[in-house]
Structure 1
């Protein structure tokens, strides 16, 4: 039942070529920067993993975190709702040169597709995107006189997320808005890897406060002083 792992390197060691990886966060809030950087470091050292499909709310900023992963050309495809973030130069340049594929999904639809994946619901209907290019080729049904677009669930091989506290059994709590997509992604992935600021003994987290139950978490690594994407970018940081 002890799901702790000794290092960031060990935590991401099982992610292989061609995997679909959900990465938590809303911009820098709740983004697992250290886990992403550990994955990049492994790629730099070994050339793996590559050809990843990444699911995230946005396309990264600057040259750290998700943007740094994309800059290393580790990702074949990005599924996101907001590729035009504060400083998306890395993604924009690769997309315009045809080096990365984009699947654009409205933000609420993205959240619901992930939730559906975790709940075992293979498809649902939403009016969002009807009549736009995003609905092209998707089944349309009319309910109560209104057209709805069929959207498919999203599931992943791995989710890498950031939480605030976790116990050794993998139960997680989050810091305010840093919760965002993280709990949904935990449910929709075959393997969830979580970085937490503090690991505590089972029972030290009030069961009523648990947001992600440990059944959805397979690996837990402590990062006592996690970095923040916005702070790194203001300092002009780059990784690696």
Structure 2
């Protein structure tokens, strides 16, 4: 399996690579392409022969593409447009091209929201960077808190001529940072999956397709997240999923 991962996947270069792999290797190699944020980008890569398409530009916690280039879109808005395009493409061609939601996930509840929007699967960077199994070393933060290093592929730390063949970087599209250490992967994934299953059951579904059809997505204002009980009644908040 190959995955083309770019801050702008709606590109003739990706189209050519997908076509080349498909012509040279047929179906023996599965290839994903992206990232895109609208139906045009999805259809462009699906028609080239991509087996799945990644959605999301600028939503990652260590991605600064929106700040640097003004390119990107809110993750929910991108999924809301691309998921119907995926279904329309499948109905038209008989080929179902799964959608991967990439970026904007901080809490486990955000995974449930992305799946409720219709994503087939998720790409998680920050989530996995926190665990023992990630290659980054553990470091001590202020107050003795245990952290793990985390950096974006568009950061100067990750990008260099040896890996990308591009020479010196003109500007970054990613940054370095830290995430709170969370222990073993297996323990955390078990809890995360339990939360997602519980959310799906609360919405009356046992499959992702049912979840997409039965979940009620309700916009909320930033004020609903304010913890001060004098400003927000915690018992009267809109439900996100």
What TM-score, normalized by structure 1, do the two folds share? 0.33
Task: Compare relative contact order (CA 8 Å, sep 6+) and give the higher one, 1 or 2.
Answer: 1
Structure 1 or 2, whichever has the larger Rg, is 2
More strand by share: 1
More helix by share: 2
What TM-score, normalized by structure 2, do the two folds share? 0.33
